[in-house]
C-alpha cells in the first residue's frame, strides 16, 4: 500500500512552475487559476522571487497548485491507497482524491490564506519549534503558562510546534529550554496558526466550506484533526472546518497510515524534502519518493 502526502505552507520555492508550464494540461489549469484568483499566479510561480512567493495571497495557492497539478500530470501513475496533507496540504490531498473540485479547492485555499492574514493582524502572535522533548512535557509546560499557548503541529517524535501570544510563546520557549529541549526556536511566521487565535479565520472559512460541494474521495483521506482515515463527506467537511484552530496531528497520522498497511510514501509537490524527512523520523526504513 502507498500513501501519498501533500506539503503545506513553506514548501514553496523559486521557479516552482517552470517545469509544469511545459505541459498543455498544466497551462490550462493555470489559466483556470488566474480566473479564480484574479492574478497571474503562474508567472509568480515561474519567475517571482522568494519574497514574492511569501506574499499571503500567493503562498498557499502556489503550494496547492504545485501539488495538485503534479498529481494531475501523473495521470494513471497517481495511484494512492490513502492520502494525507499537512495543514494547507489537506486541501491539496482532498482535491487530488476528488473530494473537492479544482475550482472549489483553489477558491477555499485562497479564502483561507486571506482569512488567516486578517486573523494575524488582529493580535500579535507567533509560533515556536520545540525539539528533543517528549510531547507530554511540552503539553504540560503549555498548560502551566498563564498566557495563550498551545500545541499546534505534532510533526514527528521529538518535534512539536507550539502557537500562541508573543508573551506566552516566549515563556514556553524559556521553560522548554530549562526542561532540556535540544532546541526551542521562535519561528518567523505571521501568527499563531492552529490555535484559538485563528477563530476569526475559522468563522470566515466555515461559511465558504459550507457552500462548497465535498464528494466522497476516491481513497480515504487521513485528516489533521484526528489523524484518522475519512471517506464520509459530512465528516470531512466538519474536520476541515475545525482544522484552523486545532493542532495538526501529523505524527499520529503517519503512525496510523503505517498501521493501516502503508509500506511506502510519495510526497507530492514542494521540494519533496519536508514531509519525507518527518516520515523518516517515524520510521527511517520506510521507502519514500517524490512525485
Annotation marks residue 194 as catalytic: yes
Q: One of 67, 87, 92, 163 is an active-site residue; which one?
A: 87
Cα–Cα distance, 97 to 136 (Å, whole number): 34
For residue 39, the tally of other CB atoms under 10 A from its CB is 12
Annotation marks residue 66 as catalytic: no
Q: One of 66, 67, 163, 194 is an active-site residue; which one?
A: 194
- For the chain, what is the radius of gyration of the CA atoms? 18
Cα–Cα distance, 103 to 5 (Å, whole number): 21
HSE toward the beta carbon, residue 127, CA cutoff 13 A: 23
Cα–Cα distance, 262 to 179 (Å, whole number): 35
Query: What is the grid cell recorded at 160?
Result: 512539536
Reference 211, options 244, 237, 245, 242; nearest CA is 237
DSSP helix, strand, coil percent of the chain (3-state; round to 5): 50, 15, 35
The residues annotated with a catalytic role in the active site are 87, 194
Amino acid at each position: 500500500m502507498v500513501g501519498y502526502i501533500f506539503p503545506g505552507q513553506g514548501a514553496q520555492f523559486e521557479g516552482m512552475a517552470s517545469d509544469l508550464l511545459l505541459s498543455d494540461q498544466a497551462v490550462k489549469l493555470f489559466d483556470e487559476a488566474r480566473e479564480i484568483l484574479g492574478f497571474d499566479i503562474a508567472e509568480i510561480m515561474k519567475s517571482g522571487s522568494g519574497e514574492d512567493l511569501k506574499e499571503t495571497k500567493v503562498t498557499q495557492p502556489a503550494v496547492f497548485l504545485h501539488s495538485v497539478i503534479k498529481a494531475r500530470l501523473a495521470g494513471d501513475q497517481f495511484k494512492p491507497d490513502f492520502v494525507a496533507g499537512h495543514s494547507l496540504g489537506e486541501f491539496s490531498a482532498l482535491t487530488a482524491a476528488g473530494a473537492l473540485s479544482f475550482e472549489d479547492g483553489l477558491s477555499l485555499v485562497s479564502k483561507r490564506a486571506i482569512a488567516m492574514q486578517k486573523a494575524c493582524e488582529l493580535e500579535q502572535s507567533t509560533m515556536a519549534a520545540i525539539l528533543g522533548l517528549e510531547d507530554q512535557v511540552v503539553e504540560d509546560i503549555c498548560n502551566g503558562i498563564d498566557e495563550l499557548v498551545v500545541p499546534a503541529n505534532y510533526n514527528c517524535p521529538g518535534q512539536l510546534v507550539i502557537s500562541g501570544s508573543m508573551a506566552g510563546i516566549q515563556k514556553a520557549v524559556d521553560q522548554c529550554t530549562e526542561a532540556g529541549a535540544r532546541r526551542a526556536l521562535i519561528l518567523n511566521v505571521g501568527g499563531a496558526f492552529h490555535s484559538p487565535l485563528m477563530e476569526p479565520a475559522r468563522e470566515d472559512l466555515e461559511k465558504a466550506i459550507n457552500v462548497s460541494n465535498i464528494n466522497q474521495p476516491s481513497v480515504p483521506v487521513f485528516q489533521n484533526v484526528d489523524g484518522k482515515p475519512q471517506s464520509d463527506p459530512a465528516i470531512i467537511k466538519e474536520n476541515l472546518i475545525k482544522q484552523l484552530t486545532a493542532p495538526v496531528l501529523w505524527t499520529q497520522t503517519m503512525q496510523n497510515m503505517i498501521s493501516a498497511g502503508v509500506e511506502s510514501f510519495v510526497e507530492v509537490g514542494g521540494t519533496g524534502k519536508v514531509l519525507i524527512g518527518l516520515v523518516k523520523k517515524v520510521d527511517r526504513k520506510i521507502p519514500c519518493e517524490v512525485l
